[in-house]
Amino acid sequence: MIQTNSHPIPQLPLLLNQCEEEMVFRLQHSAPSLFHLNSGGNRSRAKLCIDAGIALELPIKAIIALACSIELLHNASLVHDDLQDCETTRRGRQSVWKKYGKSHAICTGDTMISAAYGTLADIGAHPALSSLLLHINEAVSITIQGQSRDIDASSDISEQQYEEIAAMKSGPLIQLTLGLPLLMSGHEHHVNTANKALHKFAIAYQIVDDLNDWQQDLQHKHLNLINLLATKCSVAEAISFARKRAQYLLMQCERELKLLPANCANSVIKASQKLLVKANEGTYE
């Protein structure tokens, strides 16, 4: 179970370790889930949530519960994504569906989603609990809609439709990393600002990913902004446009994140800056 600590609040590595232990505890009866967790991952969403929770002076128990919930939802989406995309590997080893079968992969993702809601029980009877649950439910729902739109997307959709899909697939769970701590700390009036900024971050993140993977995605016929644009212009022009769009979105994102209280978005700002460097430095040819 989640461990509680007295002030001062421990630093990120300790809280991240407690988050990992909590996920293992919640999934202890699901071998495929544990197999997936043990494959690694940088737990970036948990880190962002933990840092925001520390900045907003949330109780340790709450910080770990929120971070664990978000990370479980993210990993559930990865398990289901691998199945839908027929990806046989994840993080250098077999994907869950490849090792355990498609039916078990579905159950594994569902188990993680269920566990994500279960972790919130550790928060107790907090006044913001109903709002937290509603925000998580909305985030999961929008993520599923985005994945469905991605599956059905044709090769001639508009750039606006592409960005809508990218934002719906990746944005909601990233938005929770700031949204949940803000809600629980009584800063619900700042959630909209955080969501708008992270909406831009999610699109930029997908664009930078597309810049790296456009050749592979072309081969596998996966949705990719570069290949979408290249139907109307040269690949070089498509890459240039995508790079500039990512740069613009990330600069706007950083500007908006700086408006949030207690410097709670500092880690997200650093992540945005790193992504901006990646967008600027890549060759992508």
> What average pLDDT does the segment 60-72 reach?
97
Residue boundaries of the structural domains of the chain = 1-124, 130-285
| pLDDT band, residue 156 (cuts 50/70/90) | confident
Per the CB < 8 A criterion, the answer to whether 252 and 210 are in contact is no
Q: Of 51, 49, 45, 187, which is closest to residue 128 (Cα–Cα)?
A: 187
- The predicted pLDDT at position 155 comes to 81
Per the CB < 8 A criterion, the answer to whether 239 and 285 are in contact is yes
pTM attached to this predicted model: 0.94
**Surface-to-core class of residue 106, CB atoms within 10 Å of its CB (0-12 exposed, 13-18 middle, 19+ buried):** middle
What separation, in Å, do the N-terminal and C-terminal C-alpha atoms of the chain show?
49
- The predicted pLDDT at position 9 comes to 63
Cα–Cα dist 194/202, whole Å:
12
CATH topology of domain 1-124: Farnesyl Diphosphate Synthase (1.10.600)
Residue 216: how many other CB atoms lie within 10 Å? 10
Helix residue ranges, H only, 185-282: 191-220, 225-229, 235-257, 266-281
The 10s digit of each residue's pLDDT in 174-213 is: 999 999 999 999 999 999 999 999 999 999 999 999 999 9
- The predicted pLDDT at position 283 comes to 61
| pLDDT band, residue 4 (cuts 50/70/90) | very low
The 10s digit of each residue's pLDDT in 225-252 is: 999 999 999 999 999 999 999 999 999 9
The 10s digit of each residue's pLDDT in 113-127 is: 999 999 999 998 999
- The predicted pLDDT at position 3 comes to 45
130-285 matches 1-124 in CATH topology: yes
- Sequential DSSP letters for 176-208: HHHHHHHHHTT-GGGHHHHHHHHHHHHHHHHHH
- CATH of the domain spanning 130-285: 1.10.600.10
